Amino acid sequence: MTKVAIVGASGYSGEELVRLLLSHPHAELTAVTSRQQAGQTVAQVFPKFASHPRARTLRFVDPNAELLARAAEVVFLALPHGVAAEFAVPLLKLGSRVIDLSADFRLKSAAIYKEFYAHDHPAPDLLAQSVYGLPEVHRAAIRRASLIASPGCYPTSILLPTLPLLRAGLIKPQGIIADSLSGVSGAGRKAELDYLFVECNESVRPYGVPKHRHLSEIEEQLALAAGTEVTIQFTPHLIPVNRGILTTLYLAPTQHFSTAEEATALGARISACYQAAYANEPFVRVLEGKALPDTKNVVGTNVIELAWRLDPRTGRLLVMSAQDNIVKGASGQAVQSFNILCGYPETAGLL
Amino acid sequence: MTKVAIVGASGYSGEELVRLLLSHPHAELTAVTSRQQAGQTVAQVFPKFASHPRARTLRFVDPNAELLARAAEVVFLALPHGVAAEFAVPLLKLGSRVIDLSADFRLKSAAIYKEFYAHDHPAPDLLAQSVYGLPEVHRAAIRRASLIASPGCYPTSILLPTLPLLRAGLIKPQGIIADSLSGVSGAGRKAELDYLFVECNESVRPYGVPKHRHLSEIEEQLALAAGTEVTIQFTPHLIPVNRGILTTLYLAPTQHFSTAEEATALGARISACYQAAYANEPFVRVLEGKALPDTKNVVGTNVIELAWRLDPRTGRLLVMSAQDNIVKGASGQAVQSFNILCGYPETAGLL
Amino acid sequence: MTKVAIVGASGYSGEELVRLLLSHPHAELTAVTSRQQAGQTVAQVFPKFASHPRARTLRFVDPNAELLARAAEVVFLALPHGVAAEFAVPLLKLGSRVIDLSADFRLKSAAIYKEFYAHDHPAPDLLAQSVYGLPEVHRAAIRRASLIASPGCYPTSILLPTLPLLRAGLIKPQGIIADSLSGVSGAGRKAELDYLFVECNESVRPYGVPKHRHLSEIEEQLALAAGTEVTIQFTPHLIPVNRGILTTLYLAPTQHFSTAEEATALGARISACYQAAYANEPFVRVLEGKALPDTKNVVGTNVIELAWRLDPRTGRLLVMSAQDNIVKGASGQAVQSFNILCGYPETAGLL
Amino acid sequence: MTKVAIVGASGYSGEELVRLLLSHPHAELTAVTSRQQAGQTVAQVFPKFASHPRARTLRFVDPNAELLARAAEVVFLALPHGVAAEFAVPLLKLGSRVIDLSADFRLKSAAIYKEFYAHDHPAPDLLAQSVYGLPEVHRAAIRRASLIASPGCYPTSILLPTLPLLRAGLIKPQGIIADSLSGVSGAGRKAELDYLFVECNESVRPYGVPKHRHLSEIEEQLALAAGTEVTIQFTPHLIPVNRGILTTLYLAPTQHFSTAEEATALGARISACYQAAYANEPFVRVLEGKALPDTKNVVGTNVIELAWRLDPRTGRLLVMSAQDNIVKGASGQAVQSFNILCGYPETAGLL
């Protein structure tokens, strides 16, 4: 058993971490923090967890690094960017291992951080030591990490489908387009008019175009795989579901295909590439036959579904992915890294 | 006043035609047909129209071309493709003018029809005389038409944003990508498991990739504007709203831009192009400033909203459009053509 | 034409008033106020109205009684209770006629107001002169009123089904139960966590039990009809729709029935009672046959649908009503009163 | 480990049984039947279960009693009423124990079955031996049963809140009213127009009034507890959520209360009654303080939430319950009975 704590446990990612860690076979949840909810039990704040005995006794406290470092070996940070770094610094000094769900430690360059987040990085010295917590890609580094920067929903939905193809040289690093549809929980539990039920229900809208913040980490990870700089097009949309992200990727194969034979041959290479990358991954499901991803098949799970199609009319490769933005796109992924970090089976508490 | 009839009035497009024509200042709705609803009044089938006196007396009848031709000068066909042509042929012979909401007469080539719809065209002789009923593009031809092929939601959402740019040579005809999100009414009022509430709610999914039927008419219209063959990429998705289509278009400007000045100059040309095309169009709204399209701003209206962004990072032009798939994307557009055809103000019954 | 203004036009009721008054044939909208939106045009705040020329020029201003009294003959107040009275007092002094959508002037007793709203009534002297703006009940008084207290969605959904039965002595005034289901717009456009999309979607919940504020006005109006004090049970629930209220009423007929003949005879009296009350009312639709109310048949309209059933097993009468909480339950009803007040056809701008 | 099979596994209840039994620690799912899906694997029919190895090998077969009796010790029937009995008869003869989720064996009287279901009972001889599978009430009988009639969502939502009060004599058996709001999955996975997304979304409607079929079993169970015949009023409504039932009960306490002291004293007795009944029940949660039930707190779980309020104005007791209609209201409850039947911990596979 490993003692764990959650800082910022009253948001949607924090709530999901509570759910996963309360029933995790190897985690003991010893502290949850939230300034607004301090003094309340977990069961009072989240009635849905009231059946769990621990939820009826564990109380939210004000966040305090020393207390957290004493209470837990691993601390999850479910905080806004900028704020997360303020907690990571003292926690690491005090010897805790930190799994940060914010964007604070996902980039290697403080300059790019500033370009995209419009403020100086609060702890640039830590960027070198942090590990990008995408288990299917950086598993070995996660195992040895003290600071894990767990990626969010958009990057995961784009990187897992593209990285194996890029590394295998099957697609060009130029011209990648990612068109993403996100459920409203992605905006966080924030009292803002834009996210009221009436403003989201029966509404669909793009936002944050053309330069969304998460582009920075997506492009950094793509560049690592491609061995060259990568600039992509990314358009997020808000759709009226609680959970789920559907991303459609428009990719250019390096190999030309126009005849049926060429398409079949290229398809076989793509299939083999995904097979090699993901056949043994418990949380990546490459669909076969006519099936296409549907968020309702992954919501509530840590699974990301992929399907791909070659279009001989346009010469493009389409890849579509679906995941739960709060599980594989946030808290489930963080717990997956926790399992790796602590040497537990990677699926512990996630199936 | 013009006498009008609707064939296939029990589907979603038919129902919306009923709504628009019941309160149209220059239309008298004299017949509505539906095999299943024959004998029922409009008010019985659609309780929401019961406040309209005509709805309480007008009864659905079995479709019959001679009866329809006697009852109405203009007949709207809200039928599946293939079936629509069967009614159009006798109606035209009997002297009715026909506004067909199906795909049957939208293409000029029977061969392409067969390629995309997988059956022989039922009335190839009529293809030459039919007019593609996109008022903002073919207004003059609509005025003189006897057979109007009124385009549906996906083509409208793609063509209105791209045609002016193509005609002005501002974008390349190659490499166009259209990523569309459609409400469930787009699937029609069909008792199929895929469209049950529980299967659509909390679900998002692509479908019909990579070769959706409507590509054929979209590419034909784009080719007309570009003066060259056009092949596009089109990915429709189903999202849990009743109504609305949001399309995001990825376009390649013919002119390179990378500096701020170049972007500003190109932006001015795009703005002027849209201004010239749509400033006087009552149903096209080009958004300014920071506003982006949102289906909730157009649902229930015949308006299509557009916004565009140049992305200096990728060199692309993004254009986003939002419309009500059943109004501007179907029945409202058909009524707009009706107004043109009969010489009424184009906005009659549509504001 | 009558000049009209709206105070508090940025909430959901205010927005709907803007919609109805912009296209009203006898109203000229001369002023709209909102502290937050001051300086913006109506089209900027509500892009959906941008097709209306007036929306592109009319700008929100800070609320100011003298300015409003100069600008408009009739002023609509779409403000929270307590605040509405502060505007009504000077406006009435300055000679404007006021249609107030808040609860401030719906009761005759300042003491009951204080009991239910937990603060002193801000203008008790006006209670005697205000008219409860339920047109189907108080039409004559509305015609002569200077201050109309337009009732909201819950009272309307309960009063219109019960008042004729009570007046006719067909039901007992004791033991009335009203179980209501309201869309989320009923909570207003307020940035509160409880009304976020994620908190409302896939959720159903009662609230405000057992003593909701609107009980006070409902019981006062029932008592007027019954000629005796009335105490009812009322349970509101929040359901995930934008608009609509469905109320199920459990009533005790004064006449016992257990045989089929007795039920038929009583049914005939109920039917005749509703017929007498509502056959000529343009906005009340009593359903016949097997039809039951469904909010989707009234959303966007000023109509309230009713259906009733006698249950010989329990001896009770059930009446169910459906309406759009923002139209017949708020702004449409206010415009209906405006039409009466100004001598226009009662359906002007509402069909 | 106990071998189990599911007959009719392609509906919503069947699907949920698959989910629960695939991950149940003491159940081995050996057969699933569905005429339409025969030949497909569970993973093909339900992609969401594809992560479970068993789902990738287990194939749907045509239903066949002998095969099922060989394959499983306990057979779950997730079939329509009338059809379920046809399978129960041979399965029981062959020695299987049967947990039936239909209404076929919930009543003791074949005559009342005929009155409510409009056809002769298909196996009246089995009615005496079947046990009403509400674990909190009939636990001892379930332990010894060969045929368990597992109750559905409406009865559970009404019986668990009322039975303890009735048995304790705290409420009168007369005059009970149950007003219920159900998610659309309650209608089953049926391709009918009424349950299309577009027909349910943004809609709320009562149905089946005033004599819904489930009244028969509810009243039979209430009569058992009250020791006298009971006739209740029950109004179901359809609301646009996938899952969840919210029931509001209007009850008459046997003891009069009007002063604050009387209310406090009666409240203490009600609280003690629920405490005695449910304090040790793992799946009944009686809310305290200001909390009211909300379906979002129980969806996906086997928990039913209750809250109660005394209304001194009306002298009534209100009790509200919330549950997942497919879990505690169907498949979870059936698994709970399975655990009791087989001597496993009652919460096995359900937490």
The answer as to whether B184 is a domain residue is yes
Q: Do A47 and D291 touch (CB under 8 A)?
A: yes
Task: Return left, alpha or beta for A66; rule: phi > 0 is left, psi -120 to 50 is alpha, else beta.
Answer: alpha
Question: pLDDT (tens digit, 9 = 90+) per residue, C264-273?
Answer: 999 999 999 9
Q: Vertex A258, ends A254 and A260: CA angle to 5°?
A: 115
Q: What is the mean pLDDT of chain A?
A: 97
Chain C nearest-CA distance from D159, in A, is: 18
Residues D273 and D338 in one domain: no
Query: Which one of B51, B283, B296 has the shortest CB-CB distance to C301?
Result: B51
Task: Note the pLDDT of residue C211.
Answer: 87
- Residue B226 to residue B239: CA distance in whole angstroms: 32
- Residue D254 to residue D245: CA distance in whole angstroms: 27
Question: pLDDT (tens digit, 9 = 90+) per residue, B130-187?
Answer: 999 999 999 999 999 999 999 999 999 999 999 999 999 999 999 999 999 999 999 9
Q: Using CB atoms, which chains have 3+ pairs under 8 A with D? A: A, B, C
Chain CA centroid to CA B351, Å: 17
Residues D147 and D160 in one domain: no
Residues D138 and D8 in one domain: yes
Residues from chain B that touch C297, judged by Cβ atoms under 8 A, are: 47-48
Cβ atoms of residues A273 and A165 within 8 Å: yes
Q: Do B48 and C301 touch (CB under 8 A)?
A: yes
A297: nearest CA partner in chain B: B203
Residues D89 and D104 in one domain: yes
Q: Vertex A61, ends A58 and A63: CA angle to 5°?
A: 135
Write out the two tokens for A293.
């991803």
Residue D248 β-bridge partners: D179, D320
H or E segment at A184?
none
| Peptide bond between residue A135 and the one before it cis (omega within 30 degrees of 0) | no
Question: pLDDT (tens digit, 9 = 90+) per residue, C104-163?
Answer: 999 999 999 999 999 999 999 999 999 999 999 999 999 999 999 999 999 999 999 999
SS3 content of chain C, % helix, strand, coil (to 5): 40, 20, 40
Residues from chain B that touch C282, judged by Cβ atoms under 8 A, are: 51
Percent of chain A topping pLDDT 70: 100
- Residue C281 to residue C289: CA distance in whole angstroms: 20
- Residue A77 to residue A100: CA distance in whole angstroms: 5
Cβ atoms of residues B89 and B123 within 8 Å: yes
- Which residue of C12, C15, C196, C324 is the best one to mutate when testing the A interface, meaning the one whose CB has the most A CBs within 10 A? C196
Chain A nearest-CA distance from B231, in A, is: 7
The answer as to whether A348 is a domain residue is no
Chain D nearest-CA distance from A142, in A, is: 24
Q: Vertex D242, ends D237 and D243: CA angle to 5°?
A: 75
Chain A nearest-CA distance from B308, in A, is: 10
* Secondary structure in 3-state letters for C39-87: CCEHHHHCHHHCCCHHHHHCEEECCCHHHHHHHCCEEEECCCCCHHHHH
Residues C162 and C144 in one domain: no
The answer as to whether D348 is a domain residue is no
Q: Do D303 and A51 touch (CB under 8 A)?
A: yes
Give the active site residues of D.
153
In order along its 351 residues, chain B shows pLDDT tens digits of: 999 999 999 999 999 999 999 999 999 999 999 999 999 999 999 999 998 999 999 999 999 999 999 999 999 999 999 999 999 999 999 999 999 999 999 999 999 999 999 999 999 999 999 999 999 999 999 999 999 999 999 999 999 999 999 999 999 999 999 999 999 999 999 999 999 999 999 999 999 999 899 999 999 999 999 999 999 999 999 999 999 999 999 999 999 998 999 999 999 999 999 999 999 999 999 998 999 999 999 999 999 999 999 999 999 999 999 999 999 999 999 999 999 999 999 999 998
- Residue C90 to residue B272: CA distance in whole angstroms: 49
Q: Do C184 and A195 touch (CB under 8 A)?
A: no
One-letter amino acid of B146? S
Chain D nearest-CA distance from B244, in A, is: 12
Looking at residue A171, the DSSP 8-state letter turns out to be B
Total number of domains constituting chain B: 2
Q: Rounded to the nearest 10 degrees, what angle do helices C332-342 and C12-22 cross at?
A: 50
Residues D245 and D302 in one domain: yes
Full residue range of the structural domain in which residue B171 is found: 154-324
Cβ atoms of residues D12 and D18 within 8 Å: no
B296: nearest CA partner in chain C: C48
For residue D17, is pLDDT > 90?
A: yes
Query: Which one of D50, D287, D291 has the shortest CB-CB distance to A285?
Result: D50
Q: Do B197 and D192 touch (CB under 8 A)?
A: no
Residues B127 and B104 in one domain: yes
The answer as to whether A349 is a domain residue is no
Task: Note the pLDDT of residue B34.
Answer: 96
The answer as to whether A202 is a domain residue is yes
- Which residue of D48, D203, D284, D351 is the best one to mutate when testing the A interface, meaning the one whose CB has the most A CBs within 10 A? D48
Residues A309 and A163 in one domain: yes
Which one is catalytic: A153, A200, A273, A342?
A153
The answer as to whether D351 is a domain residue is no
The answer as to whether C348 is a domain residue is no
Q: Do A318 and B202 touch (CB under 8 A)?
A: no
CB-CB neighbours of A191 under 10 Å: 13
* b/e map D279-308, b = 16+ CB within 10 Å: eebbbbbbbeeeebbbbbbbbbbbbbbbbb
Looking at residue A194, the DSSP 8-state letter turns out to be G
Interface size between C and D, measured as CB pairs under 8 A: 143
H or E segment at B5?
strand B2-7
What is the side-by-side order of every strand in the sheet holding B2-7? B60-61, B27-33, B2-7, B74-77, B97-100, B147-149, B131-132
Q: Do C351 and B285 touch (CB under 8 A)?
A: no
For residue D166, is pLDDT > 90?
A: yes
Lowest mean per-residue pLDDT among A48-52, A59-63, B153-157 = A48-52
In order along its 351 residues, chain C shows pLDDT tens digits of: 999 999 999 999 999 999 999 999 999 999 999 999 999 999 999 999 998 999 999 999 999 999 999 999 999 999 999 999 999 999 999 999 999 999 999 999 999 999 999 999 999 999 999 999 999 999 999 999 999 999 999 999 999 999 999 999 999 999 999 999 999 999 999 999 999 999 999 999 999 999 899 999 999 999 999 999 999 999 999 999 999 999 999 999 999 998 999 999 999 999 999 999 999 999 999 998 999 999 999 999 999 999 999 999 999 999 999 999 999 999 999 999 999 999 999 999 998
Query: Which one of B48, B202, B285 has the shortest CB-CB distance to C50?
Result: B285
Task: Note the pLDDT of residue D187.
Answer: 95
Q: Do D241 and B201 touch (CB under 8 A)?
A: yes
- Residue C103 to residue C212: CA distance in whole angstroms: 13
D347: nearest CA partner in chain A: A51
- Residue A132 to residue A219: CA distance in whole angstroms: 13
Q: Do C205 and D250 touch (CB under 8 A)?
A: no
Residues A226 and A307 in one domain: yes
Residues A21 and A77 in one domain: yes
B53: nearest CA partner in chain C: C282
Q: Do D293 and C235 touch (CB under 8 A)?
A: no
Question: For the domain that residue C192 is a member of, what is the CATH number?
Answer: 3.30.360.10
Give the active site residues of C.
153
Residue A163: pLDDT band (50, 70, 90) is very high
* Secondary structure in 3-state letters for C247-273: EEEEECECCCCCCHHHHHHHHHHHHHH
Residues A158 and A147 in one domain: no
Cβ atoms of residues B123 and B85 within 8 Å: yes
Question: For the domain that residue C144 is a member of, what is the CATH number?
Answer: 3.40.50.720
Q: Vertex C54, ends C191 and C52: CA angle to 5°?
A: 80
Task: Note the pLDDT of residue A211.
Answer: 87
Cβ atoms of residues A126 and A107 within 8 Å: no
Residues from chain C that touch D296, judged by Cβ atoms under 8 A, are: 199, 202-203, 205
HSE-up (13 A, CA, CB side) for residue D102 = 24
Residues D72 and D194 in one domain: no
**B19 Cβ contact list (under 8 Å, min separation 6):** B49, B331
For residue A351, is pLDDT > 90?
A: no
The answer as to whether D26 is a domain residue is yes
Which 3 state secondary structure label does DSSP give C218? Answer: helix
Using DSSP bridges, classify how beta strands C177-182 and C233-238 pair: parallel, antiparallel or unpaired: parallel
Task: Note the pLDDT of residue D211.
Answer: 87
Cβ atoms of residues D152 and D132 within 8 Å: no
What is the average pLDDT across D55-66? Answer: 96
What is the average pLDDT across A229-239? Answer: 98
Residues from chain A that touch D282, judged by Cβ atoms under 8 A, are: 51
Residues from chain D that touch C203, judged by Cβ atoms under 8 A, are: 241, 244, 294-296
Query: Which one of D201, D204, D243 has the shortest CB-CB distance to C246?
Result: D204
Chain CA centroid to CA A171, Å: 23
Q: Vertex D145, ends D142 and D148: CA angle to 5°?
A: 75
Chain CA centroid to CA D93, Å: 26
Q: Do D204 and C309 touch (CB under 8 A)?
A: no
Q: Do A351 and D47 touch (CB under 8 A)?
A: no
Please classify residue A294 by burial: count the beta carbons closer than 10 Å to its beta carbon, then call 0-12 exposed, 13-18 middle and 19+ buried.
buried
Task: Note the pLDDT of residue B351.
Answer: 87
ipTM confidence? 0.96
Q: Vertex C54, ends C48 and C55: CA angle to 5°?
A: 30
Length of chain D: 351
Residues from chain B that touch C50, judged by Cβ atoms under 8 A, are: 285
Chain CA centroid to CA D170, Å: 25
For residue D132, is pLDDT > 90?
A: yes
